[in-house]
Amino acid sequence: MKRISPSETFMAAITWAAALLTAGALLYIIGFILWRGVPYITPSLFAPVYNSINVSLLPALVSTVMMAVLSLSFALPLGIGAAVYLAEYARRGNRAVRLIRLAAETLAGIPSIVYGLFGMLFFVVWLGWDFSLLAGSCTLAIMILPLLLRSGEEALLSVPDSYREGSFALGAGKLRTVFRIVLPAAIPGVLAGVVLAVGRIAGETAALIYTAGTVAQIPPDVFASARTLSVHMYALSREGLHTNEGYATAVVLLLVVIGINVIAARIAGKIGGAHERV
C-alpha cells in the first residue's frame, strides 16, 4: 500500500478546512439574514407609501429599478461602443488603446465612496442637479462602465473570426458586419455583463448617499431624490428604530442578488457552448 506522508495529510487538511470555512461563511451569513428577516416580511412592508411608522420598502424597490434602468441606459451604449472599438477597430498596442485600458482599470479599482464624492462635487454641485435620481444614476453609470466594457470586449472577442469572414465574403461592409453579425452573436456575453452591473447597482450605497440622497419616495421625475434598497437599509440601521424591518429588507435585497447571480450563471453557461456548433 502507498504510504501517505504526514505533510501531505496536513496540506490536505488545511485546504479542505479553508474551503469548508468559505462555504460555512456563506451559509451562515445567508442563513442568519433569512432567520432574522423572514419573520418580519409582512404585506405592510410593501405598502405603496413610506412613513415613519410603516417603513415600506416598495418606494425603495421601485427607485432601485429606476436607478438601474437609467444607469444602464447611460453606460451601456458607451460600454458597448468602447468594446466595439477595442475588439473590432483598434490596432493592438496602439497608444490610445493602452490609455483607454489604463483608464478602465483605474475606474474599476476606485472605491464607491470616491465615486460618491466625485458625483456630489460634479453632478450635484457643479452641474446643479441637487440630490437626484439623475445625479445618482450618472455616478453609477461611470462606476459600472469598466465592467460593461470588459464583459462586452470579451464577448466580442469570443465571436469566431469565421463569422466576420463570412460576412465580408457576402459583401457586407465593416459596420454592417459589426451590427448585423458580430454584435448579435455577442449578446449573451454582453447580457451577462449587464446582469452583473445590475447586481452592483442594487448593492451600492456609498456612491448614492450624497448623489441621489435618501428621500424614501417613488421619484416623480429624474430630478427628484430617491433611495435604493441598499440606501434604505442603511438609513434604517442609522435610525435604529426599525432594525427588524431592516433585516426583512435585507432578505428582499439578498433574494434579488441571488436571482441576479443565478441568471448570470445561466447566461454564462449558455455562452460556453454557443459557438461550438459552427
Partner 1 sequence: MRAVFFLAALASVLAVLLICLFLFGNGVPALLKIGIFKFLAGQEWAPSDVPPLFGILPMIAGSLYVTACALILGVPVGILTAVFLARVCPPRLYRFLKPGVDLLAGIPSVVYGFFGMAALVPHFHSSILSAGILLGVMILPTMAGIAESALRAVPEHYYEGALALGAGHYRAVFRVILPAARSGVLAAVVLGMGRAVGETMAVIMVAGNQARMPNSIFQGVRTLTANIVMEMGYAAELHRGALIATGVVLFVFILLVNLCLSALNRRIT
Q: Segment 65-124, which members bind partner 1 (CB under 8 A)?
A: 77-82, 84-86, 88-90, 96, 99-100, 102-107, 109-118, 120-122
Q: Which of residues 239-268 bind partner 1 (CB under 8 A)?
A: 246-247, 250, 253-254, 257-258, 260-262, 265
Give yes or no for residue 278 binding partner 1 (CB under 8 A). no
**Beta carbon nearer to partner 1, 121 or 278:** 121
Give yes or no for residue 127 binding partner 1 (CB under 8 A). no
* Out of 38, 49, 170, 175, the residue judged to bind partner 1 by CB under 8 A: 175
**What is the contact mask toward partner 1 in residues 201 to 220, using x (rule: CB under 8 A)?**
-xxxxx--xx----------
Is residue 192 a contact partner of residue 271, using CB atoms and an 8 Å limit?
Answer: yes
Q: Tell me the DSSP string of 1-65.
A: -PPPPHHHHHHHHHHHHHHHHHHHHHHHHHHHHHHHHGGG--GGGG-SS--SSS--SHHHHHHHH
Greatest alpha-carbon pair distance for the chain in Å reads 77
Q: Single out the segment in contact with partner 1 by CB under 8 A; choices: 13-21, 159-167, 185-193, 217-225.
A: 13-21
**Beta carbon nearer to partner 1, 99 or 278:** 99
Cα separations in angstroms, 92 against 3, 36, 105, 163: 53, 53, 17, 21
| Cβ neighbours, 10 Å, residue 125 | 13
Q: Which three cell numbers stand for residue 216?
A: 424614501
Rounded to a whole number of angstroms, the minimum distance from the CB of residue 97 to partner 1 is 8
